[in-house]
Structure 1
Amino acid sequence: MAILLTGNLDAEDYADWRRHLLAHLPAGETLVLATEDYDPEAVEIALVANPPHGTVARHPNLRFIQSLWAGVDKLLSDPTLPRHLPIARLIDPSMTQAMVECALAAVMLLHRQLPAYAAQQARGEWRQLAQPLTAQRPVGVLGLGELGSAVARTLAGLGFPVSGWSRSPRAVAGVNCLSGADGMRTLLEGAEILVNLVPLTPDTEGLLCRATFERMPRGAGLVNLARGGHLVEADLLAALDSGRIGHAVLDVFRQEPLPAGHPFWHNPRITVLPHVAAYSEPSTAARIALENVAAFRAGRTPDALVDPGRGY
């Protein structure tokens, strides 16, 4: 029986993943690629990177799905996905570190008012702005999973007063942890910078909207590193125009690549990143994915199993 690699990958990506997977492939396992001829009935394990809808269902003897991405919202949106199969997300410390670095860079960009200084430079204006200390700049982090907890701890370690929100209660050292609807309101009302890292589910679709922005302090900063589906784009543009939101750092979008002519490209109050905050690096992720496969083969519970009912 075989392990299949399939996903939204180009030829170079397939070659890179194959090289690193073969370096860690357990004895007796066979790796096949979706781009090659293979017997679908021979596939028991699928390593997936957002494959086209219908791909997974073509393998009648599939027993386990290991995502090569941290997020599984696109995979779970496949109406043909066999719902009885165990699915695991990828948890890679290298990806967590990359996300922490990007979140920290975005928060510091807003905290140190670098967009305002860039605008002054364009005007040839020399003016020093009042600069609060980190202890005077409350930050809110939506989502306290693997990535959100690491980001919240790091920001708290730099002296920011950090509140974090999750659907169910969590405990993170140095972070004011909140949950539920009341917790969300409390977090938003105090967050001068809001970092979004919640999973995309039907409950969080459109979370970053007018109602959310209106609860935040006037002129607050927004950082979206989760999914484009969280953001109501028209509401953000209106909030920026009114001054309700001062600046937004966006790494993810409803349509990627961001189309030419999209209003985000040329809005001086938006920093656009091309979905680079944190992505799976085959050199580290291949070993972690195959260790999870080995755990499944041995009858152990794989790490980071997905709860389809929660969407992550």
Structure 2
Amino acid sequence: MTSSGPSSGALALLIRGGTDNWSNERWKARFTTACPGRPIVQVPEEGFDAASISYAAVWKPRPGELAGFPNLKVIFNLGAGVDAVLADTQMPNVPLVRVAVDDLTQRMTEYIVMHVLMHHRQQSYLAGCQQHKQWKPTQQWAAGAVRVGLLGLGVLGRDAADVLTRLGFRVAGWSNSPKTMPGIECYAGAAGLRPFLARTDILVCLLPLTPDTRHILNRPLFAQLAKDGPLGGPILINAGRGGLQNEADILSCLEDGTLNAATLDVFETEPLPVTSPLWTHPRVTISPHNAADTDADAISIYVARQIADFERGLPLANVVDRSRGY
């Protein structure tokens, strides 16, 4: 836990959406505890002095809101995805910091590993057998027969790749720039994407959403995935951002066999509209954007420590490169 003197700049909270646990009132209580002595302003709040705001903790702020703080020094995005903040053309030219706490990484790895295993161990088939009271064991291949590909080798992708490798899966990763990991086949750049896809049975997407990656999960990409694996066809797991996927392409590729199944935690429109055919598709698994629903207390302590370090003259960690979008 860190402390700040009463003369320190105020922290503004601009938080919208999420579960009740992410309500402004709960965040204000957390930051009041994590930043004793520092004014915490819940925006919108009547009568506060915009010039007193030095820091902002945000989740999906309204466009132009942050421009109203003339003395803003740092923006802290309370989730891993920063695309909503970067979309604000009026965002002040100050450091934007993304959350990178162990709890978030561990929860994302849990989600990825769980769904890879559910596809690998044919859980959908077994659930159907149970529903119809059928004792019909089927062939089960070893993990080493399945090729998992991580699209994105940042902190989240690297951790998931490491755990999947230890479980025996044949794991590869793709990133925009070259990376190396022990025991992981690493591909990079435009030239590396096609061979990466061609050796992948289960595609796990953890990319950030940028202009270059919007709708990257589309029919032309799915058509390049391996078709000779043991799962009956390629499988998609997207726990990155909803804007990465073309949902019409996912549905049509499921219908014609280009994809065999999909696990989706994120969507182009959230909450997912009740009219979406994804809800009822027999080979789609849906979760409500909770793959890495991180401990909010850990996030508030992380932000408080970053502020304290910054005020001591230390560099901020996990600053977003605006030119790259992550």
Matches within 5 A, 1:253-268: 253-268=267-282
Q: Name the SS of the counterpart of 1:290 in structure 2.
A: helix
Post-superposition Cα deviations, 1:105-139, rounded to whole Å, max 9, x if no partner, equal: 11011111112333444555443222110111010
Contact 1:16 1:282 in 2 (8 A): no
Post-superposition Cα deviations, 1:187-206, rounded to whole Å, max 9, x if no partner, equal: 11111111000111111111
Post-superposition Cα deviations, 1:173-229, rounded to whole Å, max 9, x if no partner, equal: 321111112221111111111100011111111111011110012311110000111
Question: Quick check: 13-22 or 151-160, which moved more?
Answer: 13-22
Q: Name the SS of the counterpart of 2:115 in structure 1.
A: helix
Q: Pick from 4, 8, 15: which aligns with 1:7? A: 15
When residues 11 and 185 of structure 1 are mapped into structure 2, their CA distance, relative to the original with a 3 A threshold, is closer
The residue number in structure 2 matching 1:68 is: 78
Q: Distance in 1 between matches of 2:124 and 2:211?
A: 33
2:70 counterpart letter in structure 1: P
The residue number in structure 2 matching 1:30 is: 39
Contact 1:193 1:223 in 2 (8 A): yes
The residue number in structure 2 matching 1:59 is: 69
**Matched residues, number:** 310
The residue number in structure 2 matching 1:246 is: 260
RMSD: 1.6
2:55 counterpart letter in structure 1: I
1:300 counterpart letter in structure 2: L
Q: Distance in 2 between matches of 1:217 and 1:265?
A: 26
Matches within 5 A, 1:44-193: 44-82=54-92, 84-122=93-131, 125-193=134-202
**Where in structure 1 are there 5+ consecutive unaligned residues?**
none
Q: Name the SS of the counterpart of 2:282 in structure 1.
A: coil
Post-superposition Cα deviations, 1:204-259, rounded to whole Å, max 9, x if no partner, equal: 11111011110012311110000111111111111111112111000000011110
Q: Distance in 2 between matches of 1:220 and 1:129?
A: 19
Identity %: 37
Q: Distance in 2 between matches of 1:175 and 1:237?
A: 31
Contact 1:95 1:280 in 2 (8 A): yes
Question: Quick check: 66-75 or 169-178, which moved more?
Answer: 169-178
Contact 2:63 2:89 in 1 (8 A): yes
Q: Name the SS of the counterpart of 2:277 in structure 1.
A: coil
TM-score, normalised on structure 2? Answer: 0.91
- Is 1:206 aligned to 2:220, yes or no? no
1:254 counterpart letter in structure 2: E
Q: Distance in 1 between matches of 2:312 and 2:75?
A: 15
